Structure 1
Amino acid sequence: MDFSTVSWDEVGTASIETLQILAASGLFTVLLGLPLGVILFMTGRSASARSRVTYIILSVIVNILRSVPFIILIVALIPFTRVLVGTATGVLGVIPPLVISAAPYFARLVENTLREVDRGVIEAAQAMGASTGQIVRRVLLPEALPGLLAGITITVVTLVSYTAMAGMVGGGGLGTLAINYGYYRYQNEIMIISVISMIILVQLLQMIGDRLVIYFTRK
Structure 2
Amino acid sequence: MQTLSGDQIAAWLERAAEVLEQEKNFLTELDAAIGDSDHGTNMARGFTAVRARIGGLDRGDVGALLNGVGMILLSTVGGASGPLYGTLFREAAVKAAGAAALDLEALAACLEAGLEGIQRRGKAVPGDKTMVDALGPAVDALKAALRAPAAAGDGGGGPLARALDRAAEAARAGAEATVPLVARKGRASYLGERSAGHQDPGATSCWLLLRSLAATATA
Same fold (TM over 0.5): no
TM-score scaled to structure 1, two decimals? 0.32
Higher relative contact order (CA 8 A, sep 6+): 1
* Higher Cα radius of gyration: 1
TM-score scaled to structure 2, two decimals? 0.32
